[in-house]
Amino acid sequence: MTSTDEKQVHTQGTQASRQLRIVVLMKTNSGGTWILPQVEAMRARGHEVMVVLPPGPGRLTSELRGRGFKVFECLFPLRPAPSTLVGLARLRRLIRRLRPDIVQYHLIASAYAARLATVGLPVRRVHSVAGPLYLDSPLIRTAERLMWRLDDVIVNGCANAAARYAALGCPPNRLPVATYGVDTSRFDPTETAPEQRAAARAALGVAPDAFLVIMVAYAYPPKRLVHRGRGIKGHDVLLDAWRMFREKHENCHLLLVGGGWTQAGETYRRSLIDRFRVNEDDSITWLTTVPDVRPCYLAADVSVSPSLSESHGAAVEAGAMAVPSIVSDAGGLPETVDAHSGWVVPRDDPPALAAALNNAYAEFIAGTLAGRGSAARQRMVDQFDNRRTAEQVTDVCEQVAALVVRQ
């Protein structure tokens, strides 16, 4: 659909009157498992869901096929090369063959591929924004000021992303917010016995009475177009703040969970280990992978998300597990906490983060920190349950299928 300033988009109804054919497009077949609640919700409404992923084995491919979804493999490179046109032509042929009513795409590379490959095709386009990182790039912001007009609607994973698209001129009625959220039934500590927390701490080698800080995030390699030379998750910010915090407190421990994303990410992670002498600090444990992150949250007292750019990140999983969070003011992170459930600090500010750790530690000693955890849990149940937000995304797809354009 082409939009002009003279046209307004209206939706009719909240549910499609017929079964829809929905093609979901992703640039990765390994990450992105957060789409699973959404495609399940679409299928539960009776819609036919087909997913287009890059070729080859991957966690997402396996998970989707194991759940009975149709997965189609298509390589669609988006670099200045002759192969790009070939890839887009191949994707266009595939989409025409699948005859979708809706094409939904996640991640910015997928968005450019889907937009270009569907120009002139009789499909509705739903752009799902996982996070606002790419909008940190002046170059991409300039492109998006024009390209968003090819989207019928932009489903924003956080309110911050919606505000940024509004600043690029997109009308508010085309900017719904539906978080990727968290499964609050799976991340649920309410039936946990005290001895399970003790066992989780023992397995991690953490003393029963220690103040345990956790950060769960992959170490992403520095990006060329945004935050040049810096990893976006802010591991360096936390490690710097931790040195300040440790000067005042002894009985505390920092648990980092997450390896490098790609080999470049692992190289970056190892550079942080060397730079901050992590292997020489017995107050820090860095695990690259765990079979289940929930026991780590069960052992923790406070979670930290010090990202330079982010949607909601690990704060929603931590909150669901009744762990309060310290988050930076980047992107959608401030949306995950309130005055009762956590703290917000300026991004890239190690002294401010150290001060927030001091505050959390003081509440830990006073025995009041657990109250923030309970408030965090309730906030996640009320606002971030991914089953409810998946229904919201399905509502949007059904509404978009009934779009009419009026002068």
CATH of the domain at 355: 3.40.50.2000
**155: closest CA among 388, 380, 394?**
394
- Compute CA distances 236 → 165, 233, 277, 308, 317, whole Å: 29, 8, 12, 11, 22
Residue 32: left (phi > 0), alpha (psi -120 to 50), or beta?
A: left
Instruction: Assess whether 206 and 169 both reside in one domain.
Output: no
- Whether 188 maps to a domain, the answer reads no
100 and 241 together in one domain: no
pTM greater than 0.75:
yes
**Could you list the residue range(s) of the whole structural domain that residue 121 is in?**
8-181+386-406
Report pLDDT for 169. 97
309 lies in the same domain as 265: yes
Give the Cβ contact number of residue 126 at 10 Å.
Answer: 25
- Considering the domain architecture, whether residues 150 and 226 belong to the same structural domain is answered as no
The predicted structure's pLDDT at residue 228: 80
| Residue 219: strand pairing partners | 260
325 by DSSP, 3-state: which? strand
Domain assignment of residue 3, yes or no: no
Q: How many domains does the chain have?
A: 2
Q: Specify the pLDDT at position 382.
A: 97
Residues 206 and 348 in one domain: yes
Query: Are 15 and 155 members of one domain?
Result: yes
Give the model's pLDDT for residue 85: 86
Tokens of 207: 């003393």
pLDDT per residue as tens digits for the range 68-100? 999 999 987 656 566 788 889 999 999 999 999
Instruction: Judge whether 373 lies within some domain.
Output: yes
> How long a stretch of residues is the chain?
407
The pLDDT score that the predictor gives to residue 364 is: 98
DSSP code per residue over 46-80: T-EEEEEE-SS--HHHHHHHHTT-EEEE-----SS
Q: Do residues 82 and 205 both lie within one domain? A: no
Q: What is the distance between the alpha carbons of residues 207 and 89, in angstroms, rounded to a whole number?
A: 58
The pLDDT, as a whole number, for residue 79 is 60
User: Within this chain, do residues 126 and 207 fall inside the same structural domain, yes or no?
Assistant: no
Closest CA to 203 of 334, 293, 129: 293
Q: Which pLDDT score, from 0 to 100, does residue 224 have?
A: 79
pLDDT score, position 226: 81
Q: Do 93 and 165 fall into the same domain?
A: yes
| Domain annotation covers residue 1 | no
Question: Is 107 in the same domain as 171?
Answer: yes
Q: Which residues contact 53 (CB under 8 A, 6 or more apart)?
A: 26, 28, 29, 60, 61, 64, 71, 72, 73, 74
Same domain, 224 and 163: no
Mean pLDDT per 10-residue section of the chain, whose length is 407 residues:
38 59 94 94 97 94 97 78 82 96 95 95 96 93 97 97 98 96 95 90 96 97 84 97 96 97 95 97 97 97 97 97 98 98 98 98 97 98 96 96 54
